[in-house]
Structure 1
Amino acid sequence: MPQPIIVAQQLSQKVQLKSQDLTILDAINLEIQVGEQVAITGRSGSGKSTLLGVLASLDRATQGELWLCGQAVHLLNEEQRAKLRLQNIGFIFQSFQLLPHLSALENVLLPLRLQANFHYAHALQHAKEMLQRVGLLAHAQQLPKVMSGGEQQRVAIARALVTTPKIIFADEPTGNLDRQTAAEIEQLLFRLNQEMGVTLVIVTHDLNLAAQCQRHYELVQGQLYAVNPQQDLSG
């Protein structure tokens, strides 16, 4: 039986306004298995990025429980959550979030510098291998400003994967790309999912991308609905 790598129970996220409380996420239950590809869609402002941030332990839910890789995230302090993220999670941003003064290679190398067992020569070789894996080793010394959007996103993917995470969270990974480049990035993500066994959780507006995932959910008024219930493995 597949083992769940993400388990969310009754996750809620509420924001206090002057006049009332705004509910962004409303008692969400979700299980994601090791190696799965899961897409989450929804209208702009529906809370997709908020949900992704909570599932990735970047933000705390106001209510509910969350387990990642067998650890009870809701019981961890910030230092423990940061360690969990460093060891198990990669995050891909829509806006790439590359440091402009660092080369492609230096950007990919950065997460490895945060690890307790950092060894420069080994880390450098691994970063080069990841750039080669995304087809950008020849651009290793280029700064982000001279790279295309697709190339920058490939660097961001290499950076997210360089620590060999168990889960990749991707927030609109093709949102700033043209259709052809977006298709190339999609193929790359799925190929790496297969080759490395990494679990893939994608927030996207792209219904074509969502349809390629094993499971597809839509976030509506703070609740998740399976778009293809027959494919829903969460019970």
Structure 2
Amino acid sequence: MVQTDSTPSIMPQVIISARKLTQSIQLQQKKLSIFENLNLEIYAGEQVAITGRSGSGKSTLLGILATLDQASSGELYVQGEAVHVLNEEQRALVRLKHIGFVFQSFQLLPSLTALENVMLPLRLQADFHYAKAEQKALALLKKVGLERQSSQTPKVLSGGEQQRVAIARALISDPQIIFADEPTGNLDGDTAEEIEQLLFQLNRELGTTLVLVTHDPALAAQCQRHYELKDGALFEHATRIEARL
């Protein structure tokens, strides 16, 4: 009798599902289509890059996937929740529960210290506790290599240090998904490389899903999946085998 492995295979969890997403804008008497009928599934824990020429709509798509904006039509599910039927207040709760953001321009509040900037998302939670939030923020600053800069304000931090603070802030609420919009666009080459590797390291260590928009094909090639938005449609590129390991 031949024995077979009865261990059930584990299917990857779909954490974001987009179905027939369409986005258009009205310009005077003409409707301009940015993209039409996009379908995309993103799995828990993976790294996905979206590229495209300037004006292709890649940041618009990221904003919709991140629930910051609404598509003209189509369906969007985040952690199984039908986001496309929610109002802004309800979408904000989805973001608070599941999503962290890293922006090209850092988006730090200049009057707050690095520690206070990292703690900020927790202040939006009903069960905010200062001492616990402070302890968690300090631990994240240590993880991104900025424990000693916790009391400094953004104006005395370098661009790379500011982005590290922004990454720590994105992680403070334990999100399942990190959206990064051109996270290295304002950084020099060496600093950009450090930030890229930090994002991938945290993706592996924490198991978060990483979705990033970038103009850098080398960065996109390091992700497990790479999509290009071109002429209103998504095209998947082949990526390096080692990026999937």
With structure 2 as the length reference, what TM-score do the two structures score? Answer: 0.92
> C-alpha root-mean-square deviation of aligned residues, in Å?
1.2
C-alpha distance after superposition, 1:27-56 (max 9, x if no partner): 110000000100000001110110000000
Query: Are 2:146 and 1:136 aligned?
Result: yes
The amino acid across from 1:209 in the alignment is L
Gaps of at least 5 residues in structure 2 are 1-10
Q: Does 1:90 align with 2:100?
A: yes
Partner of 2:16: 6
The equivalent of 2:8 in structure 1 is none
Q: Give the equivalent residue in structure 1 for 2:112.
A: 102
Compute the displacement of 1:19 (Å): 3.2
Q: Give TM-score scaled by structure 1 length.
A: 0.96
Q: 2: distance between equivalents of 1:21 and 1:110?
A: 39
CA positional deviation for 1:227: 1.1
Residues 44-102 of structure 1: per-residue CA shift (max 9 Å, x gap): 11101100000000000010000001100011111111011001000111000000000
Residues 112-165 of structure 1: CA deviation (Å, up to 9, x unaligned): 110111111111100101101100010001110111000000000000011110
Q: Percent identity?
A: 67
Q: 1:190 aligns with which of 200, 225, 239?
A: 200
Q: How does 1:67-82 map to 2 (within 5 A)?
A: 67-82=77-92
Among 213, 219, 226, the alignment partner of 1:209 is: 219
Give 4+ residue runs of structure 1 displaced > 6 Å after superposition: none
Q: Partner of 1:226 in structure 2?
A: 236
Is the aligned partner of 1:154 residue 2:164?
Answer: yes
SS state at 1:7 partner: strand
Aligned length: 231
Query: Is the contact made by 2:48 and 2:212 (CA closer than 8 Å) also made in structure 1?
Result: yes
- Secondary structure class of the residue paired with 1:200: strand
- The runs of 5 or more residues in structure 1 that have no matched partner are none
Correspondence 1:49 to 2:64: no
Task: Write the distance in 2 (CA, Å) between the matches of 1:116 and 1:198.
Answer: 23
Matched residue type, 2:138? K
Distance 2:232 2:139 in 1: 40
Change (3 A) 1:224 1:105: same
Q: 2:29 maps to what in 1?
A: 19
Measured at CA, do residues 143 and 230 of structure 1 come closer, stay the same or move farther in structure 2, by a change above 3 Å? closer
Shift of 1:202: 0.4
Contact 2:23 2:71 in 1 (8 A): yes
Q: Supply the AA of the counterpart residue of 2:128.
A: F
CA distance in 2, matches of 1:75, 1:230: 37
Do residues 64 (structure 1) and 74 (structure 2) align?
yes
Structure 1 residue 121 corresponds to structure 2 residue 131: yes
**Structure of larger gyration radius:** 2
SS at the partner of 2:164?
helix
